[in-house]
Structure 1
């Protein structure tokens, strides 16, 4: 079973770049607590609504007691009434426009304490019908009308049965929204299986997943005779534990669309392929831009549409369609124009392979990228590029975390070239569509934000600025096919909110933005553009922020199963925090191979004495620091140590810290105003000469001192990393010093051997603050053992009797015998 690893599903992304509709509501229950924290939004019941109707929906989550507004990512849905039930539930009456696009929408809850994560909500052409239990007995199914959307719950070891009445020759279609609509952390709520059976329990057709919607099931049949039919829905492994929506009716369900894309802003006639009643065509007007580069094409028949669209690519390229036969280089479909272009084809039979022939000039460079699996095609593409002699210039199976491949091509000479496409397993069929876009190496900027918490892409991507306070974000900017400085642009923000950043140097790809809310800024919020532009007015390049919405994560360990993208930034003004943070502006620079301690102050409201965790969310190039530093309870000042390596980029940078505290209702987050951090070259450098000392003796380590920049007064020099049981006093130098003797006093306990990696800290004081250098890296002190003393000889005085050695018993007997014999 394929995992949903690329944007797929029922959503039509036609108007993703329009302004967000956000209806301000009458707020019925407002919490004024300064201890409020970001809201949590988990799901809704029901999970969708019918276009052109009014629907009462319950939002579930936590810390929702101060909810004020629902923010919609797309047009077509508004709010009539919002009622807070308790801290975990909000009841909302929604108004869905008749022309609201079908399929997936995204929405958020805005509270006075912040904006929630985005979750999805689904719009159908059919009325909702609630599941009625018990319906797990084939003989006693739930009876429903055709052309409804069943809102139901999948349970472990349970099958749901629905009975419909259908006529011979009618189309009966089922489409499930299951995996995509549940948010159960690190788990798949339902992997849908669906079948259609007659009353004799004969299976007419079944589906367990689909190429079009991956693990979601779709199924269409032609009814063989008038009668009652049973639709079976269950988890494929009988382990379901989440909600699902089952569209059951006579709607068309094409499996593919050809061509698989068109030029942005153009009108195109598309052929919809794979419906059980035969192929048909429809015209569609493509938007100029989309968030995900795709557009949803709906084909209507009999006044009904499929519940979700077929996706096509939207790009700046003209289409070029294959012409069969083109199964070899000799039969290749000839494209006589110049690149870029989009090649479109169908691998219509098992074993089919398609060739296109094109011309290129020496040095021309293009990226050939396949779109197949990512737009719902069953093709597992393998892409090849050859020269005129069929010499391979590159091939690709999978790329960029998808089944779709890409090849970077640079023409080695003027001439003819071939592009070839086949399926990895040599499968084929009428719905095996593909598209190959030839992207020029033109300048562009990709704008994203770093992952702040592993396997949680929406974490800290809602920017809730406290009244009278600050919030900081870090933005990733990826330059493609150009270099140079960049600048941010936030053309619109909530009333009373301003932003501050700076020019992004060409050497830097990640940079901070600071948001500030005025003390009297209205409590409000919405979705806003974040743009990044280059500074070269002659060749302007612009990129727009895109956020990944990881809507479903499953086993193992939270892998992404279903992710969509959105191109707006959620920003709100929230209640004042019970604390604020400031950084004391350094008066001196940090130097390369140096260190600095930033002083950070916490300003607490009366009675707020919780711990506060600070984090330097962005560091200038070459600067390192601890991941966090914590204010203890009631503590108001801490030091945050920074270290600069030898290649730290010399510049003046804006730096800030974010600070978070848990006041018992979740985390509150704020930021400090920017301070300027100047990174400069060091004032001195040193070389430490190899020195030898004996245990218990003093040796002088000679340091050669080089002044790099002028400084006034004297600097303290401390030899660091000396061995145990050795001491060195703090010495002094000035800018005229060229040599320094460092007296190293060892003891009898100082370890013998070579002690490497010694260095010196040189501290220059300026305006009362230290400028700390680390110099003379790699110094060596050799400690030799203490010399051994000569052994002492014991002298015996002449007037002292010399003691005789006592006789053994045998010697005594011999002496006695000798005396008795007189000898």
Structure 2
């Protein structure tokens, strides 16, 4: 009985336990493919750990060996055919899903760094073809010793910044027995702050490997994975792209030269696609562009206008070449048509090439249509431009390096495309400086979770529908369509109450409703891998959405279905009700996920602790479309040890034409303490029964205005306005009339006469009274003696005038 009771209590409190786990780090940060090894995951809120969610196939959690709130120990197996390089992984607990972290697959076994190895004489001995897992503390230098044969290649590659912990800038070097640096690397074009280098041994015996922070800094989170082996590390591939579904012969170019290979191009575009050589593959791949364009490869000589390669006419072009020597430039002759609008991208640094491309496109007269240097996005030194062709004819495209440099590594790929039909979607960033926040679906049993998806369309119209293949058991997608005229839509998933805890990485797509439309919409979600405040050092783009089922949430939300429509230029108070589990009293943050065009609302409200509801005021403008809209809100609450999300079901909110409208009334001037009248004509757009109530809104409390009642027969709105003697004089602007119209189910609230105003004046001052006129006295019969004149008042002279008079008197004497 007691064990059963304990189980029941555990189930009842499951929704109140840890949620949204924090995945701080793992050790090691990767493993050898084809191996099985121990992995420790650290973080917070891990006590209900379930498993790891890898985005890519080839990873298996063999066992969970120990679980605590701050650490989990596991056994991991990596398949022999797992792709080398970086992979995304998240922690899934019974109640939440973490942010992703990078996890690396290496061709070599992992060797842990062991202190002391901070001095040359303390170098840690390691076998060739090893991956060292280590950390650089402040002013730390790590030394390793490896034995090689004369003529044998010794290569290094370090994963530091790419591990995703912080802005770590590692420096690596190969030293001989006399401590001379034979090869070194700080930054690279391909891996930014993560370096690589190679050296051919000059003698049999020991060489030394050094790793440190480039400025002798370091920290407790300056982790690295240093690959030490005989692999070839290409800087770049030529050509650096190919057509979907094709096979392309390529050359892998490194510091020692180049070697051949063949690339099988996937059948779908992938912005993160990398290729590896079959010969001694490096620990990470090289970027490779996938497009629907046939390749054109430059043919030397083409360094002058007269030697320009003639490119066969096409609607789109992919020009591949190398600026092979300093001062080199490549020229191409293109046949273009009047009115063509072309978008050009010169890909170089994004491919690992040191080229800083400068592009020119000139007409037959030699006049430049465009000349572009930088502007290629995150790798800003790559070129990007748009041009409209002014006339039919041949045009000359040239490309060179900005500083006229050149070498066999200066590979480029110029893609010239007409505006192609394209549809992508992504969620906005929900939190400043955290691009990962809420960028997943963790659906509670019996609940829902929603994301807002913004659409980006290029020459695409028509209705689309969301498709999410491979959902976890018990989960369904409730969002059906993405209408052609909508800029965004809510993506809502629901889990059955008995759905098993589970997970999947789902390639959510948008498929056209019209079978004649062949465009497929794809998720393109950008993430920051390393960010320090507003500075972004490393990013990633994903086209799949992690979806998991978690334990039941301790609350549920529901939007109370409106009984009346939201009218044009109207408002409606939309109520959200929370249903809480016993004992759960925490405040709930309620987020309005989406509103249709023409409807505005405050983005979020809070249901206070212990309360059960909140209200959003919806406001519709005059242009809102009459339709039935699916509204949804998302809840976020602290379940005691982390955030728990749960969304409401869809709720239909109807928008429609207003019943009445009115223009702003002419401004009236009313004195303080006096009563005046404002009036405007009212127009009935839809019939209604009964009496509507109109109120003039926006005046201060010192102005008395009584509401009025109108009917469908009313033709004007007239208000008696009386400012008090204490009312501050001046213009009272931005007034409107609120009209509550009775309809079946309640009243609809209209806002009409928008932008009206009233002026309050101070009382006018009365004109001053005239002085009484004295009555003239009749003259006396006898003449009277005139009175003596009063002496004149003395004139007050200024000191200057006194001195002048004194000077004049002295002159007379």
Give the TM-score of the pair, scaled to structure 1.
Answer: 0.88
Name 1:159's counterpart in structure 2.
141
Name 1:698's counterpart in structure 2.
675
Once residues 145 and 272 of structure 2 are traced to their aligned partners in structure 1, the CA distance between those partners, rounded to angstroms, is: 40
Query: Is the counterpart of residue 252 in structure 1 residue 232 in structure 2?
Result: yes
Deviation readout 1:14-45 (Å, 9 max, x if unpaired): xxxxxxxxxxxxxxx99962113122222210
Kept after mapping to 2: 8 A contact 1:455/1:559: no
Deviation readout 1:553-600 (Å, 9 max, x if unpaired): 23xx14322222222211112111111111110011112222110111
Quick one: which of 746, 754, 758 aligns to 1:777? Answer: 754
Equivalenced residue count is: 757
Kept after mapping to 2: 8 A contact 1:298/1:308: no
Once residues 744 and 26 of structure 2 are traced to their aligned partners in structure 1, the CA distance between those partners, rounded to angstroms, is: 60
Query: Is the counterpart of residue 380 in structure 1 residue 353 in structure 2?
Result: no
Name 1:575's counterpart in structure 2.
551
Matches within 5 A, 1:48-127: 48-127=30-109
**1:400–1:769 distance in 2 versus 1, CA, 3 Å:** farther
Query: Is the counterpart of residue 732 in structure 1 residue 714 in structure 2?
Result: no
Once residues 691 and 502 of structure 1 are traced to their aligned partners in structure 2, the CA distance between those partners, rounded to angstroms, is: 52
Name 1:236's counterpart in structure 2.
214
Quick one: which of 266, 274, 299 aligns to 2:254? Answer: 274
**1:675–1:370 distance in 2 versus 1, CA, 3 Å:** same
Once residues 249 and 643 of structure 2 are traced to their aligned partners in structure 1, the CA distance between those partners, rounded to angstroms, is: 52
Larger mean Cα displacement after TM superposition, 126-135 or 542-551: 542-551
**1:60–1:450 distance in 2 versus 1, CA, 3 Å:** same
Once residues 558 and 81 of structure 1 are traced to their aligned partners in structure 2, the CA distance between those partners, rounded to angstroms, is: 40
Larger mean Cα displacement after TM superposition, 59-68 or 593-602: 59-68
Matches within 5 A, 1:31-430: 33-36=14-17, 37-183=19-165, 187-188=166-167, 190-241=168-219, 242-276=222-256, 278-292=257-271, 294-300=273-279, 304-396=280-372, 397-403=374-380, 404-430=382-408
Deviation, 1:508, is 1.7
Deviation, 1:637, is 2.2
Once residues 721 and 390 of structure 2 are traced to their aligned partners in structure 1, the CA distance between those partners, rounded to angstroms, is: 66
Deviation, 1:720, is 1.5
**1:410–1:794 distance in 2 versus 1, CA, 3 Å:** closer
Kept after mapping to 2: 8 A contact 1:116/1:462: no
Deviation, 1:293, is 5.4
**1:285–1:504 distance in 2 versus 1, CA, 3 Å:** closer
Matches within 5 A, 1:655-804: 655-687=631-663, 688-789=665-766
Deviation readout 1:96-121 (Å, 9 max, x if unpaired): 22222211122222221122222111
**1:44–1:470 distance in 2 versus 1, CA, 3 Å:** same
Query: What is the SS of the residue equivalent to 2:122?
Result: coil
Name 1:820's counterpart in structure 2.
none
Give the TM-score of the pair, scaled to structure 2.
Answer: 0.90
Matches within 5 A, 1:433-582: 433-554=411-532, 557-582=533-558
Deviation, 1:484, is 3.0
Regions of 4+ moved over 4 Å = 29-32, 789-795
Query: Is the counterpart of residue 653 in structure 1 residue 629 in structure 2?
Result: yes
Deviation, 1:234, is 0.3
Deviation, 1:790, is 6.6
**1:760–1:245 distance in 2 versus 1, CA, 3 Å:** same
Kept after mapping to 1: 8 A contact 2:14/2:552: no
Deviation readout 1:217-273 (Å, 9 max, x if unpaired): 101112222332221110001112221011112221222221111222222221122
Kept after mapping to 2: 8 A contact 1:259/1:270: yes
Name 1:17's counterpart in structure 2.
none
RMSD over aligned CA atoms reads 2.1
Larger mean Cα displacement after TM superposition, 159-168 or 482-491: 482-491
Deviation, 1:689, is 2.5
Name 1:799's counterpart in structure 2.
none
Deviation, 1:645, is 2.4
Once residues 756 and 530 of structure 2 are traced to their aligned partners in structure 1, the CA distance between those partners, rounded to angstroms, is: 55
Once residues 469 and 152 of structure 1 are traced to their aligned partners in structure 2, the CA distance between those partners, rounded to angstroms, is: 43
Deviation readout 1:758-810 (Å, 9 max, x if unpaired): 22111113234331111112223232322335779999xxxxxxxxxxxxxxx
**1:291–1:83 distance in 2 versus 1, CA, 3 Å:** farther
Quick one: which of 591, 610, 614 aligns to 1:634? Answer: 610
Kept after mapping to 1: 8 A contact 2:118/2:141: yes
Query: What is the SS of the residue equivalent to 1:34?
Result: helix
Name 1:14's counterpart in structure 2.
none
Deviation, 1:639, is 1.6
Query: What is the SS of the residue equivalent to 1:279?
Result: strand
Once residues 110 and 333 of structure 1 are traced to their aligned partners in structure 2, the CA distance between those partners, rounded to angstroms, is: 55
Deviation, 1:492, is 3.4
Structure 2 portions without partners, runs of 5+: 1-9, 773-813
Query: What is the SS of the residue equivalent to 1:305?
Result: coil
Deviation, 1:744, is 0.6
Deviation readout 1:303-323 (Å, 9 max, x if unpaired): x32111222212222111112
Quick one: which of 588, 598, 607 aligns to 1:612? Answer: 588
**1:767–1:246 distance in 2 versus 1, CA, 3 Å:** same
Once residues 525 and 758 of structure 2 are traced to their aligned partners in structure 1, the CA distance between those partners, rounded to angstroms, is: 55
Once residues 482 and 242 of structure 2 are traced to their aligned partners in structure 1, the CA distance between those partners, rounded to angstroms, is: 36
Query: What is the SS of the residue equivalent to 1:330?
Result: coil
Once residues 618 and 629 of structure 2 are traced to their aligned partners in structure 1, the CA distance between those partners, rounded to angstroms, is: 13
Deviation, 1:659, is 1.1
Kept after mapping to 2: 8 A contact 1:67/1:84: no
> Larger RCO: Structure 1 or Structure 2 (Cα < 8 Å, ≥ 6 residues apart)?
1
Kept after mapping to 2: 8 A contact 1:703/1:742: no
Once residues 755 and 337 of structure 2 are traced to their aligned partners in structure 1, the CA distance between those partners, rounded to angstroms, is: 55
Kept after mapping to 2: 8 A contact 1:722/1:758: yes
